[in-house]
Amino acid sequence: MEISVIGAGHVGLVTGACFADLGHRVVMVDNDAKRIEQLKRGAMPYYEPGLEELVARGVREHRLAFTTSLKEGVQKSTIIFIAVGTPQKSNGEADLAYVEAVARSIAQHLCGYRLIVEKSTVPVQTGHRLAQTIKTYLKKKHPFDVASNPEFLREGTAIQDFMKPDRVVLGVESQRARQLLRSLYQPLGVPIVVTDIKSAELIKHASNSFLSMKISFINAIATLCERCGADVQQVAEGMGLDERIGRSFLNAGVGFGGFCFPKDLEAFIKISEQLGYDFELLKAVRRINEAQKGSVLEKMQQALWVIKGKTIGVLGLAFKPNTDDMRYAPAIEIIEGLLREGAMVKAFDPQAMPEAVHHLPTVKLCRDPYEVARHADALAVLTEWNEFKELDFARLKRLMRQPLIVDGRNIYDPQRLQALGFRYIGIGRGTLEPH
Ligand code: UDX
């Protein structure tokens, strides 16, 4: 099938490359000429495992092309996916200006039936606004449909999440749209949930908010564990074996970040308010997440007594492993807090160093975890990269001014580190420190 994807970002580029890999002819459209040039050269705008090879294969087999011309994208395809950014406005609402601008442009270039599909995460009722906008700006009366097909891609596993999703959600309101999208996703061989457009839009926000709630729930349990001396990892284990609960997204840590959960949570709270419902539960999820980042600073303060003048080493800056993305990363707020207290901060991240230069200009960026540890009064793990799990702890101990580890992602065994001579502080790993 002929497909165009508008917006070559974390969602659009993966979506286009995967559709091309499934045999479709895909035109990737982006108004950022630099990004299009970069993609034509085979360079990826961000790190995503497997994406570079997938794009190269699509280009080599002439199934994936890049252009800044939205007209070309509209005229060369039957299905148009809108995958442009929906960033957060200062009042927390989703900024739909890019979506609306694309809808207007599509209307001006329509030259026959097209199915326009919302792929970006958008507030419920956006689909109908999209249809109204296209109708308003249509040059000639061409038939079209609008549909919602929310993505559930996680950065770091986006290709696998596209090719082997738990489900595909199709929000449609015509037989033609249903058939087109069904035939597109049938080859994946997974459950396809067909709903109306509004329900599909809500499934996305409700799913992300529920996952955020799971994380804040276990982080709240971690706080209780610290107060009573229980171990949140064991609690999560015991809870997670109940298939109604499930073990995933029950890892206590420094809180959730990324360009989805914080933004989508904010947008969902806002939409609910606009619909006359005060979503207090989600406000508590947000509050717990904010407090979680603050608790790392408190732990550091408690362990060091005075942070001012101390050297703090940080391992991990990306908002999660296997990505270079630092947008809304907990590490940013935590490090800014340490800097405000007068600490000198050194950091390393396997992928996010180029991003860190923009986000944390005053932090000393190091080549590896051992350079970070040199002369450090404490070492904080903020992203659970695999390469931090088996460090040479004897070497770390020799390099550090004092052997204090704040394990923000609970990747270490407290007993093992204490046996190696470290003071260990985790998240919810029993009492804050052995008395
Ligand atoms: C998320 C959703 O998972 C995905 O379905 C949606 O399409 C986009 O948003 P993503 O933001 O890429 O994906 O990352 P995810 O793996 O969900 O993690 C989000 C944040 O939650 C990260 O900061 C991660 O560290 C944190 N997290 C995740 C926890 O703190 N504990 C957990 O148990 C799981």
Decide if 432 is inside a domain.
no
- Residue-wise pLDDT for 363-411, tens only, equals 999 999 999 999 999 999 999 999 999 999 999 999 999 999 999 999 9
d(CA 82, CA 8) in angstroms, rounded, equals 10
* Closest-CA residue to 360 (of 318, 322, 321): 318
Bridge partners of residue 29, in order along the sequence: 6, 67
260 among known catalytic residues: yes
d(CA 72, CA 7) in angstroms, rounded, equals 14
d(CA 409, CA 427) in angstroms, rounded, equals 7
Same domain, 178 and 119: yes
Same domain, 159 and 242: no
Decide if 202 is inside a domain.
no
Half-sphere exposure of 187 (CA within 13 A, CB side): 12
Q: If you take atom 7 of ligand 1, which residue's CA is the nearest one? A: 152
Same domain, 180 and 235: no
Token readout for 31 is 């108004």
Q: If you take atom 2 of ligand 1, which residue's CA is the nearest one? A: 154
Domain-ending residue, one of 171, 195, 219: 195
Percent share of the chain, pLDDT over 90: 94
Q: What is the per-residue pLDDT for 434?
A: 47
Same domain, 246 and 379: yes
Domain-ending residue, one of 173, 195, 217: 195
Ligand 1 binding pocket mutation candidate from 160, 211, 285 (most atoms within 8 A of CB): 211
CB 258 within 8 A of CB 248: no
Q: Which of 18, 111, 228, 260 is catalytic?
A: 260
Q: What is the per-residue pLDDT for 139?
A: 85
Bridge partners of residue 147, in order along the sequence: 117
Same domain, 77 and 150: yes
Decide if 101 is inside a domain.
yes
Determine the structural domain holding residue 357 and report its residue range.
Answer: 228-425
Q: How confident is the model at residue 220 (pLDDT cuts 50, 70, 90)?
A: very high
Give the total number of structural domains in the chain: 2
Same domain, 189 and 264: no
- Residue-wise pLDDT for 289-340, tens only, equals 999 999 999 999 999 999 999 999 999 999 999 999 999 999 999 999 999 9
Same domain, 190 and 276: no
Percent share of the chain, pLDDT over 70: 99
Same domain, 83 and 30: yes
Helices 330-340, 280-304: crossing angle, 10 deg rounding? 40
Same domain, 236 and 185: no
d(CA 434, CA 334) in angstroms, rounded, equals 24
Q: How confident is the model at residue 240 (pLDDT cuts 50, 70, 90)?
A: very high
Alpha helices by DSSP H, listed for 327-433, are 330-340, 353-359, 369-373, 393-399, 414-419
Q: If you take atom 15 of ligand 1, which residue's CA is the nearest one? A: 154
Q: If you take atom 28 of ligand 1, which residue's CA is the nearest one? A: 249
> 257 C-alpha to center of ligand 1: Å?
7
- Residue-wise pLDDT for 344-362, tens only, equals 999 999 999 999 999 999 9
Token readout for 140 is 């000639």
Decide if 201 is inside a domain.
no
d(CA 103, CA 108) in angstroms, rounded, equals 9
> 321 C-alpha to center of ligand 1: Å?
10
Token readout for 313 is 């080493």
Decide if 358 is inside a domain.
yes
Mean pLDDT of 169-187: 97
Q: Is the pLDDT of residue 435 over 50?
A: no
Q: What is the per-residue pLDDT for 247?
A: 97
Give the binding-site residues of ligand 1, using a 6 Å CB cut-off. 151-155, 208, 211, 215, 249-251, 253, 256-258, 260-261, 319-320
Q: How confident is the model at residue 431 (pLDDT cuts 50, 70, 90)?
A: low
- Identify the CATH number of the domain in which residue 339 sits: 3.40.50.720
Same domain, 333 and 244: yes
Mean pLDDT score of the chain, rounded to an integer?
Answer: 96
> 57 C-alpha to center of ligand 1: Å?
28
Same domain, 180 and 286: no
